[in-house]
Amino acid sequence: MLRSVLRHTRIFALAAVALAAASSAGCVAVVDQRGNLPDADKVAQIRPGATTRDQVVKILGTPSSTGVFDDKSWYYISRKTKQIAFFNADVLDQQVYVVNFDGTGVVHSVDRKELKDGRDIEPAPGATPAPGRELTFLEQVLGNIGRFNKSPSSKGDDSGTPTPGPRPNDQNR
C-alpha cells in the first residue's frame, strides 16, 4: 500500500514538472529580424546627382518597397521585433534608407530614418461602405434556398449545349 502511494506521488510529481516545463517553454521571447539593411559603406557609394537607378540596384540590391503613387522613392527597410507567446510583438529597432530619384532616374537624395522618426497613425473610424443592401444573417441563409439546381442533363448533341428534357405536359406519344 505504501509503495503504491509513493509510486503515484512520484508519477504526479513528474507530471507536474513536465507540465511546468511545457508551459514555461511557451513564454520564451522570440526575436525576429526582417529585411536586409545595406551596409553604410555601400550607401556612401551612392552620389546624388550622378548615380542612376540601375547603379543603385547593383550597389544596394532591389528595394524592400517603392513609393505607392510613383516609383521615385525606394525604401530599404530593416526591422527587429520581440514577441512573447501570443502577445503583440514589440519593435526593438527599425532602420530605413530612402533613396529618392528625380524625373530622369538619377538619385536626388538619400535619407536615413530610425525607429524614433516613426509616428503612430490613427485609422479613420468606421468602415468603408460597400454598394448594395446589407442583409441580415437570416436573410443571407434563406436567400440561397432554391438557388442551387441540379446540373442539366448532358443528353443530346456533342455541341456542348444540353438539349432540354421532356416538358411536364408532354406525354409519351
| pLDDT tens string 13-63 | 777 776 666 666 567 888 888 887 888 899 999 999 999 999 999 999 999
Q: Which residues of the chain have pLDDT under 70?
A: 1-6, 8, 18-26, 148-173
Listed in order, strand segments (DSSP E) in 6-72 are 29-35, 65-66
Phi, psi of 117 (to 5 degrees): -80, -15
DSSP H/E element including 94 = strand 90-101
Q: Pull the grid cell for residue 117.
A: 522618426
| Confidence at residue 137, expressed as pLDDT on a 0 to 100 scale | 82
Q: Report which residue type is found at 58.
A: K
| Confidence at residue 155, expressed as pLDDT on a 0 to 100 scale | 53
Domain ranges across the chain = 27-117
| Confidence at residue 28, expressed as pLDDT on a 0 to 100 scale | 80
Please give the Cα distance from 73 to 109 (Å, whole number): 10
Please give the Cα distance from 68 to 156 (Å, whole number): 55
Listed in order, strand segments (DSSP E) in the chain are 29-35, 65-66, 73-84, 90-101, 107-114
| Confidence at residue 172, expressed as pLDDT on a 0 to 100 scale | 52
